[in-house]
């Protein structure tokens, strides 16, 4: 059997766990003990997604198109923001660790989380949308060149994630 171009994923929060997808899947891929659709059995026909009354099943592509190229002017401005966010997060982390004030500690804990999420979003729009992108793969390759546990983790990721760009 050739690799499917798509496969089905069930959103457990939406699934009412009582019904129809079990009957419609020709391969028994939806009938699993942990409710996670079996990727190895699914051929991506989409029958389950169509039948689900709760909109709990969606189809994800097995391969993604290359991400949009970013312009240098945007990347540069995003870089400025990214550097600021990194410093802000670190300052907030240090204050949270050092302060004896209970309220300030909570506010700085919130700041660390908030700034990281905003920073991640900046990175996503800085040419790192897809883990399959050439940018992400180059980053992993550089980390893998180093030493220690991170290098090992990066190598594992390079083995797991195929690049979708030439």
Partner 1 sequence: MKAVCQLCGYVYDDEKESVPFAELPDDWTCPCCGAPKEFFEIEGSPEEAAEPVADAQDEAIRIATDAEGDVMAGLSAGQVAALCGNLARGCEKQNLPRESALFAQLAESFTAQVEPIDGADIHGLADLLMGDAGRYAAARNAAKAAGDRGSLRALTWGERITNMLSYLVGRYLKDGEAFLKDTEVWVCAACGFIYVGDEAPELCPVCKVPAWKFEKMEVKAS
Phi first, then psi, for residue 71 (nearest 5°) are -80, 150
Region of 50-58, 60-68, 120-128, 153-161 interacting with ligand SF4 (CB under 6 A):
50-58
Residue 46 interacting partner from partner 1, ligand SF4, none (CB closer than 5 to 8 Å by kind) = ligand SF4
CB 163 within 8 A of CB 65: no
Applying CB under 6 A, which of residues 9, 24, 81, 95 lies at the interface with ligand SF4?
24
Applying CB under 6 A, which of residues 3, 9, 31, 37 lies at the interface with ligand SF4?
37
Applying CB under 6 A, which of residues 3, 34, 36, 56 lies at the interface with ligand SF4?
56
Residue 129 interacting partner from ligand SF4, partner 1, none (CB closer than 5 to 8 Å by kind) = partner 1
CB 154 within 8 A of CB 144: yes
Residue 126: CB atoms within 10 A of its CB come to 18
Rounded to whole angstroms, the Cα distance separating 104 from 133 reads: 40
Binding site for partner 1 (CB under 8 A): 9, 60, 64, 68, 70-71, 73-74, 76-78, 80-92, 94-96, 100-107, 109-111, 113-125, 128-131, 136, 139, 142-143, 149-150, 153-154, 156-157, 160-161
Residue 110: CB atoms within 10 A of its CB come to 12
Q: Does 39 bind ligand SF4 (CB under 6 A)?
A: no
The radius of gyration of the chain's CA atoms, rounded to the nearest angstrom, is 21
Rounded to whole angstroms, the Cα distance separating 85 from 127 reads: 17
Rounded to whole angstroms, the Cα distance separating 139 from 65 reads: 19
Residues of this chain that interact with ligand SF4 (CB under 6 A) are 8, 10, 15-21, 24-25, 27, 29-30, 37, 42-48, 52, 54, 56-57
């Amino acid at each position: 059997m050739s690799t499917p171009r798509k496969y089905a994923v069930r959103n457990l929060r939406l699934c009412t766990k009582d019904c129809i997808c079990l009957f419609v899947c020709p391969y028994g891929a939806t009938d699993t003990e942990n409710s996670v659709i079996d990727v190895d059995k699914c051929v991506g026909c989409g029958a389950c997604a169509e039948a689900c009354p709760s909109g709990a099943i969606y189809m994800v592509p097995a391969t993604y198109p290359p991400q949009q190229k970013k312009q240098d002017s945007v990347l540069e401005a995003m870089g400025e923001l990214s550097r600021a966010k990194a410093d802000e997060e670190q300052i907030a982390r240090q204050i949270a660790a050092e302060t004896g004030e209970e309220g300030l500690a909570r506010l700085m804990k919130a700041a660390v989380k908030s700034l990281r999420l905003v920073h991640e979003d900046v990175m996503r729009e800085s040419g790192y949308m897809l883990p399959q992108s050439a940018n992400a793969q180059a980053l992993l390759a550089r980390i893998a060149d180093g030493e220690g546990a991170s290098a090992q983790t990066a190598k594992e990721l390079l083995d797991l994630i195929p690049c979708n760009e030439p």
